[in-house]
Structures are given as C-alpha cells and as structure tokens.
Amino acid sequence: MIIKHREKPMKIDGYEALLKRLPPTHPKRMAVKNSLNSAKAGYGGEERLDEALEFFDPPYPYQIIQDFSLGGVYKVQVDTVVITQSCVFLLEIKNIAGRLQFKQNPSALHSLLANGEIKSYKSPITQMNETAIRMSKFLKNLGCPLPVTSVIIIAHPSQIVEGAPPDALILAAGEVNFHLSKMKMPKPILSIEELHQLGQSLVAVHSDYQPFPLAPKFQIDQSEIETGVFCPRCVLGKMERTKLVWECETCRLISRDAHSDALQDWFMLIKSTINTAECRDFIGLEKLDAAKRFLIRNGCQPVGGRRYRQYIRQPQDR
Ligand SMILES: [Zn+2]
C-alpha cells in the first residue's frame, strides 16, 4: 500500500519561472536550463519507477513511501522506500542519457554521450550505500532494528550499463516488481501493527526539500530579474493593469488574478519575505494600499513592527 504519493518537484516550476524572467542573453540562462533539464529527467525517472510498481502485489505485507526525505543531521533523500516486516528497501532510479560506466577507485558514474562528451556524476552506488547507513542509524534511533538494502534502478532499456560492481543490486525498471515480489523474505522482525506504525512515523518525519529562493543559488541579483505580470496563456507576454483586471499586451487575454502567479514567482526566485513597496514594484501596482490588500488576499501574513513590516506566505497545500 502506498502511504505517501509523489508530487511534481516544486523546483521545476521555479526554474521555469526564472527562465521566463531572465533576459534572452543573460549569461546564467544555460546553467538554469541545465538544472531544469536534469530536474525534469529526474522526475521522469521517478514517474517511470512509480509505473513499474503500479501492479506491485507481493506475497508479504508492505508500505511504500514515494519521495522520502529526512532533514536534520541525517540528510537522506530516497526516490521510493519500501518497508516490510523483515527489511527496508531504498529504491533509487537513474535516468541519465548515454552509455553509463561505473568507475572505481575513486567511484564515479560516467555517461558517454553520442557526441563523444563524457559527463561525470557521483556514483549512485556510493551514494546509496551512504544513504542506507544513515537510514539504518535513523531506524535504530527509532528503536527499529530492520536491515536496510539499497537498489539502483535504470529507468530505460536504452541506457547501457557497464562496469557495475557484482555486489551492487542494479535492476532495470521493468524487473523491479518481479524481483521484489519473488524475493525470499527473511523472518519477520515487526508485527503488522509495528509495520504500520513505522510507516506512519516515517511519513510524519518526512520534510519536503525546500529549494527556494533560486536566484541567489545561481548568483543572480534581483535587479537582473524582470518584474511584472506575465500572461498565463502566451507565457512571454506581459500583462497591463486596467481598472479591474489584467490584460495581455500580446494576446489580449483578460485575467483577474494573473498577478498571483507573479507573487509566487517572487517567493520562488527572490526571497521568502516581501514588503508592500517591493510588492508594488515587482507586480506593477500603483499604490501601497493595493499591494497590502493583495498580499493579505493571497494568504500572506504580516510579521514585524509597522515600520519594517514584511509579509511571509505559509507553505500552501499542493
Ligand atoms: Zn498573452
């Protein structure tokens, strides 16, 4: 049973908003595009893993947590966690183009692209071994003695894998279901009730990875980010404020709330607080009063004294 489902990573929307607001010739566009592409490939791989386990129906009780991350000292991020009464599986899917070569001493994953380019990544085996150690430690602290095994999954059959060490468990996405279902499980350590309790505890401690604000991460200054309200239909068109609504200068779309997206862009790109003057200037409102009303209407809460008042937005339900 799946007790936590995966959602689209927030950073994908963030990278897209950043590209929309950077001038066409900005030197950081390429770096942002690369981050967007790798985030999309990662999410594509994770969706592939979810599909591969859609008909997972093993002969043993289990709980699945999709997209698990643990903050604090542990710093664990796992694509999918499968908890059983006898052990915990950590599943990590790799969706990297090219011919993949596992290198040792020191460990790395190389991908050879068709154009001869070689890209080097942290070895997923080393990464997952470390994650398994941290997860075991965390479980032990919870009072749970389950052993932890990590499995690396290759998203697509077109990914050719070479040099995988014999002691690492690397599977094709298409065989994960069969492999896990047919696995001979050791004697149960947890009762069914304890299994459910462990699942609930892990969901409770999961903390969403918070990637924002993005502009400082790319060392992009706020002054380089284009302000204003963009059209939700033609995306690159700017919207003009008429008396009551916003109208696109390009496609003439009329919208009442297109500026809510611009506020969302602010929090994703610039910083986690905004004051009324910043809001007025970023969105293109005329008056501070209008900015204040707009912030409150959009779920922002004032913090700090009157003179230095800032507004923050609570994380929204997605
Ligand atoms: Zn438009």
In this prediction, residue 237 carries a pLDDT of 83
CATH topology classification for 227-313: Arc Repressor Mutant, subunit A (1.10.10)
Q: What is the distance in A from the centroid of ligand 1 to the CA of 31?
A: 27
pLDDT value for 318: 47
| Ligand 1 center–CA 260 separation, angstroms | 16
Distance 111 CA to ligand 1 centre (A): 40
Q: What is the C-alpha to C-alpha distance for residues 145 and 88, in angstroms, rounded to an integer?
A: 10
Across 106-117, average pLDDT: 92
How far is the centre of ligand 1, averaged over its atoms, from the C-alpha of 38 (Å)?
Answer: 28
Between the CA of 286 and the centroid of ligand 1 the distance, in Å, is 22
Place of tokens 């609930």: 200
Q: What is the pLDDT of residues 174-228, one digit of tens each?
A: 999 999 999 999 999 999 999 999 999 999 999 988 899 999 999 999 999 999 9
**257 C-alpha to ligand 1 centroid (Å):** 14
Average pLDDT, the chain: 94
Please check the confidence at residue 236 and state whether its pLDDT lies above 90.
no
User: Residue 32: helix, strand or coil by DSSP?
Assistant: helix
If you average pLDDT over residues 101-108, what whole number do you get? 92
Q: Ligand 1 centre and the CA of 239: distance in Å?
A: 7
Q: How far is 79 from 68, CA to CA, in rounded Å?
A: 6
How many whole angstroms from 228 Cα to the centroid of ligand 1?
A: 13
Nearest to 198 by CA among 187, 209, 206: 206
Q: Supply the angle between the helices 276-283 and 288-297 in degrees, to the nearest 10.
A: 90
More confident: 184 or 158: 184
Q: Which of 209, 259, 238 is nearest to 76 (CA)?
A: 209
Task: Say how many Å lie between the CA of residue 290 and the centre of ligand 1.
Answer: 24
Residue 216: CA atoms inside 13 Å, Cβ hemisphere, count?
9
% the chain with pLDDT above 90: 85
The pLDDT tens digits for 266-293 are 999 999 999 999 999 999 998 999 999 9
What percentage of residues in the chain have a pLDDT greater than 70? 99
The alpha helices in 53-119, defined as continuous H runs, are none
The answer to whether 236 and 20 have CB atoms below 8 angstroms apart is: yes
What span, in angstroms and rounded, lies between the C-alpha atoms of 279 and 64? 42
**254 Cα–ligand 1 center, Å:** 9
Cα 209 to averaged position of ligand 1 atoms, centre (Å): 33
The secondary structure of residue 222, as a DSSP letter, is G
Q: Report the separation in Å between the CA atom of 154 and the middle of ligand 1, taken as the mean of its atom positions.
A: 40
CA of 212 to the centre of ligand 1 (A): 27
> Which residue ranges make up each domain of the chain?
2-205, 227-313
